[in-house]
Structure 1
């Protein structure tokens, strides 16, 4: 007899096989194991946790991100950390917990580990956060929450400078594909925020409606804790005017905030649907795209830094990496030169 599991949905792959998800309103989408026995056990565990939460029972779910962090903090290895190491460990542990304390720790696959590490731009931060994640995986392995340590043996050598920016055609294709995605409205809102506010995805997802004031968006950057005020681009303002707030955060689905893992998964699904799976485009490239568009429009380093939140020196270094030398920029430079010459000649 086939048992029907609550809130379990089947999705067909292109090769005819199936993948399974636990999809319950008010909770993050969770990929389930392919093995039917393990799938049944995991779905039952998730339903039990959700049922307790619905009944008002506040518990830290076993196997969740918060649970693994708690177990690690109880360990001898955590207790042996020096004061200096403890300071940055706790910083990264807090950041990891903010991804979704109730999310199953097993959502951290290799790809998500690398995505999360890449959100840090500080010198040496990648190796520090990787070390923290490795210890969390060791804890999760000890308690048999996960079989593998996806934070071990990472190649953290400096990657080639990314020069990828979104073209207008690619933006249009992604937005068109997003319109028919189950989380379409939330993802389109997230896309516009990334495109016009020029912040990291992890900071964008935390933006609340209370952060919109007098035509500007206030963004608290996770990395620096700096509060950045960014005037709303007219296209962003028009989009936000048509939204009805359903949660404290601007980006929401089913009246709940969207977690970083869920955002990443949905973003990639839409990329594939738009025919951009092999394009190399990423959500974080929208920040670079915003910098390029502002530079092409003639914005100075100081003006761009006021939007991105970096200091002038860091902005200059980032622009050297982020800004491809496009034809539009070259034409703008010549036009400025010619305009300056015309003004000078009029004075003679």
Structure 2
């Protein structure tokens, strides 16, 4: 959904939790309540989503809240249609952390979006992106230094 949250936390999100341009999430695993801003894409999707439930955002055609397994099956349909079967539902959280790291966010900024309590977990999830970003910065500095000589 672009929130960087665990899929199990997505199942509990309700329309009433939306405030301004984000959503309040109470994480099931670590328990903190945090506000996560919407991505532009997620805001657009939610703006056109037909509300079949007064409560939960992710529900079936009868308005019943989806559970983790149901979400996983729906995501798999999309993945298969796009030949992305090697990706996992949990991988979406990794992707969010990586995208934030590539954008230049600090570990603490990433944690405020994903809700990670441990910065070491943030570093684990964003390691590849951070390395790539830092390597690009290093090479740019290297080139700039050569041009000064």
The TM-score normalised by the length of structure 1 is 0.37
Instruction: Provide the residue aligned with 1:293 in structure 2.
Output: 99
Partner of 2:109: 303
Map residues 128-277 of structure 1 onto 2, 5 A cutoff: 193=1, 196-247=2-53, 248-254=55-61, 255-277=63-85
Structure 2 Cα separation of the partners of residues 206 and 332 of structure 1: 40
Measured at CA, do residues 320 and 225 of structure 1 come closer, stay the same or move farther in structure 2, by a change above 3 Å? closer
Q: Which residue of 1 aligns with 2:121?
A: 318
State whether residues 51 and 57 of structure 2, in contact with CA within 8 Å, keep that contact through their aligned partners in structure 1: yes
- Structure number with greater Rg is 1
Distance in structure 2 (CA, Å) of the matches to 1:321 and 1:306: 16
> SS at 2:34's partner residue?
strand
Cα contact 1:298–1:332 (8 A) shared by 2: no
- Cα distance in 1 for partners of 2:88, 2:84 equals 10
The separation in 1 between residues aligned to 2:137 and 2:48, in whole angstroms, is 35
Take 2:110 and 2:17, find their aligned partners in 1: how far apart are those partners? Answer: 20
Distance 1:276 1:215, change over 3 A: closer
Greater relative contact order, per chain length (Cα 8 Å cut-off, separation 6+): 2
Distance of aligned partners of 1:217 and 1:329 in 2 relative to their CA distance in 1, 3 Å threshold: farther
Per-residue deviation, residues 81-108 of structure 1 (Å, max 9, x unmatched): xxxxxxxxxxxxxxxxxxxxxxxxxxxx
Distance in 2 (CA, whole Å) between partners of 1:214 and 1:334 is: 40
How far does the alpha carbon of each residue in 1:173-224 deviate from its partner, in whole angstroms, 9 at most, with x for none?
Answer: xxxxxxxxxxxxxxxxxxxx2xx21010010111000111011211110012
2:107–2:123 CA contact under 8 A, matched in 1: no
**Alpha-carbon spacing, 1:333–1:231, altered in 2? closer, same or farther (3 Å):** farther
Q: Does the 8 Å contact 2:111/2:122 carry over to 1?
A: no
User: What runs of 5+ residues in structure 2 fail to find an aligned partner?
Assistant: none
- Give the Cα separation in 1 of the matches to 2:104 and 2:24: 24
CA RMSD of aligned residues (A): 2.2
Going from structure 1 to structure 2, the CA distance change for 1:265 and 1:236 (only over 3 Å counts) comes to closer
SS in 2 for 1:228: strand
* 1:266 aligned counterpart, secondary structure: helix
- Structure 1 residue matching 2:116: 3-state secondary structure: coil
CA contact (8 A) 1:296 1:332 kept: no
1:90 paired residue number:
none
Structure 1 residue 332 displacement after superposition? 4.1
Q: How far apart, in 2, do the equivalents of 1:249 and 1:318 lie? A: 29
Instruction: Identify the match of residue 136 of structure 2 among 314, 331, 339.
Output: 331
- What number of residue pairs does the alignment pair up? 139
Long gaps (5+) in structure 1: 1-192, 342-348
Counterpart-to-counterpart distance in 1, 2:33 and 2:14: 13
